[in-house]
Chain A
Amino acid sequence: DAGVIQSPRHEVTEMGQEVTLRCKPISGHNSLFWYRQTMMRGLELLIYFNNNVPIDDSGMPEDRFSAKMPNASFSTLKIQPSEPRDSAVYFCASSSPGLEGTGELFFGEGSRLTVL
């Protein structure tokens, strides 16, 4: 398997523009997570899907952020309108919880977003 695939790897945009980040989880994994990483706040969980259903979106900063998972092999994280404080690396991760519960998270390479 190619692992978790994210696109784009880098995105530079201007304040007010819409940004869409994409993720393809590992085939067979039924849990998908979006994290945001910044120097100030570390790794923050934004939203968690299980079997394509959003389970916990309490980490989504505000209404400008939305995430979807229309099927088991694709998820998007959208920011509209974007602001400079949204600049960060956004990681998608997937896992396949086993009988013991939470399983290993496999991270994508991340999407580095810069909002000017």
Chain B
Amino acid sequence: GENVEQHPSTLSVQEGDSAVIKCTYSDSASNYFPWYKQELGKRPQLIIDIRSNVGEKKDQRIAVTLNKTAKHFSLHITETQPEDSAVYFCAASDYKLSFGAGTTVTVRA
């Protein structure tokens, strides 16, 4: 089955700086790569996703890049704000989603 590895496990950034989270996956058949944000005590919610026919996607302050050859994808958050503090999960899917272990992001004011 699919194995998704995510780094780093924790990330502390100064407000206004950028945050980058990286993931690798094992199954070359995976074609859908979403990112979920989970605030403390809440459910995971989709923030951005990318499919295998696209190399990069951007939505305001967040962007995702995908390198299918190397089997890795990354999340970039620019101009971080305190409300960006949360746990972020990457995932990869051919027909079912396998999640990475999560990155706890803390934005320091």
Contact = CB atoms under 8 A, between A and B. Distances in A.
A61 interface: no
Nearest to B101: A42
Interface in B1-49: 1, 31-32, 34, 36, 42-46, 49
Q: How large is the interface on A (under 10, 10 to 19, 20 to 34, 35 or more residues)?
A: 10 to 19
B97 A108 contact: no
B89 A104 contact: no
A101 interface: yes
A56 B43 contact: no
B81 to A, nearest CB: 23
Interface string B92-104: 0111111111100
A104 B49 contact: yes
A32 to B, nearest CB: 11
Contact of A33 (B43, B45, B96, B101): B96
Contact of B97 (A33, A55, A58, A109): A33
B95 A102 contact: yes
Contact of B34 (A33, A104, A108): A104
B97 A45 contact: yes
B51 interface: yes
B97 A102 contact: yes
Contact of A107 (B43, B49, B102): B43
Interface in A32-49: 33, 42-43, 45, 48
21 contacts: A42-B99, A42-B101, A43-B102, A45-B96, A45-B97, A55-B95, A58-B1, A91-B43, A100-B32, A100-B51, A101-B31, A101-B93, A102-B93, A102-B94, A102-B96, A104-B49, A105-B36, A105-B44, A108-B43, A109-B42, A109-B43
Question: What are the nearest 7 A-B pairs in CB distance?
Answer: A107-B43, A43-B99, A102-B32, A102-B93, A42-B101, A104-B46, A48-B96
Interface of A: 33, 42-43, 45, 48, 55-56, 58, 91, 100-102, 104-105, 107-110
